[in-house]
Amino acid sequence: MSFTQKVAFVAGAGGGMGLAIANALIEQGCHVGMADLKSVPDGIMPGPGDYLYKEGNLSDDDFAHSAVNETASTFGRLDYLINTAGVLWLDRDKSVVEMDMDVWDQVMTINLKTFALTSRYAIPHMQSAGGGSIVHFSSIDATGGDAPAQDAYGASKAAVIRLAKSLAIQFAGDNIRSNVILPGPTMTPMQERWEGNAEAQANVAGFVPLGRLGTPKDMADACLFLLSDQASYITGVEIPVDGGIKARV
Active centre residues (catalytic): 153
| Cα–chain center distance at 77 | 21
> What three-state secondary structure class fits 205?
helix
Rounded CA-CA distance 103/97 in Å is 13
Rounded CA-CA distance 136/84 in Å is 7
CA nearest to 205, candidates 215, 219, 217, 220? 215
| Cα–chain center distance at 134 | 10
DSSP notation for 11-25: ETTTSHHHHHHHHHH
Rounded CA-CA distance 91/98 in Å is 13
Phi, psi of 7 (to 5 degrees): -130, 130
